[in-house]
Structure 1
């Protein structure tokens, strides 16, 4: 492992393989939570399930105890107009809600970080489309990354896709990030901006890309719990995230259960996993 380009953590192939172990555990945990999220389930139920699965498979929850004030849970569970960092609790999910679930795990000192937004039962068509646009923008951002390119190539691809789909708010105050021996590392990965800027994308760089998109304003408030970020206008929000890297063969989505192989094939992009 080395550090270059303004303090970026560059991993060896063997260290990326270790990140894949953590990433796969995160991906599998999120799929478990996706299946469990239903009317009548509380966000605390989801958190309990996530922590048990992570620990049962040799991992440590990345979020629990993180920062100040210490985050009190294993997952972030953000409902409806809550965009990110919602604290799980007794809230009962109801038909028509959406819940954004952000999950992180550490295995052997290496982090994985990913998020999904799940509809609870039937939701309005505009909300279904919001989720589709946000998730697709994540993939468009990752496939824009090339060795020798720049981090904002990802940012530009996310913004360009979202803007082409309609009038949506793209959060600017919260970004993706580098990841590895810590959950949040340099560089920041904005979800908007011009291409060709920021650090170079090099082999061994791992990034967590996470578009956060709303049906209304891009502006948010921090709630009284000092963690939950919510839209100021009460509009619905979506959040999707993956940890990925770029190898000489192509993109490798470390937190996708299949490494991203199937979705990358649909997009006509080479799969760079092992």
Structure 2
């Protein structure tokens, strides 16, 4: 996510801001035709990569203030946003490293105590994450890991990277995603950006994820912001890592779209 994504998305976000929010997830246009994935398949990732963050036009409505009168967009652009990554497996840990190396403070959340201990000891358990890189980010204080999900409330951006294994009917099992959203909901506050990264089918973010979070009484696109950005890991492929694979993003409205683009 710390790299950029869809060709022409800035124009799309600005045009959406002019129209007003119509509902549903918004994203940049793809040059590829829409194709629903088959069972167990991921959707094609399409986009272009930009190496440096850029200042974005603030669409109407992006004036919600948090903390000491600082907008979430400003926190992201200045790399002062606190980022939480839930699920420190083959997707979450490389993503956490990429975000930390981009200058953000990152907190990893996982239910596996062994992973928490390994990270505290500066030991990598994922081949795609060199131990020297992990050790450097931990030593610099940019990356920590915990099993205490109450800390999610202190995060400005939360990225969900939990597994979605296939059921016996060859459909994604969303139980991990649902439970994670329930954990987030316990400390959900206005101004946060919640991003689903887990591989799943179209409609998951705008459906079950949004429903669980809005059960708190807070509303997406008004109180908090919701986005989707499918994982871009190719385990074992050293030629293309997290920072070099193009990224697709979507936001629930123009404000979320602008935040996703900045992040």
Band of TM-score, shorter chain: 0.3 to 0.5
Structure showing greater relative contact order (alpha-carbon pairs closer than 8 Å, 6 or more residues apart): 2
Structure 1 length as normaliser, TM-score? 0.32
Larger % of strand: which?
Answer: 1
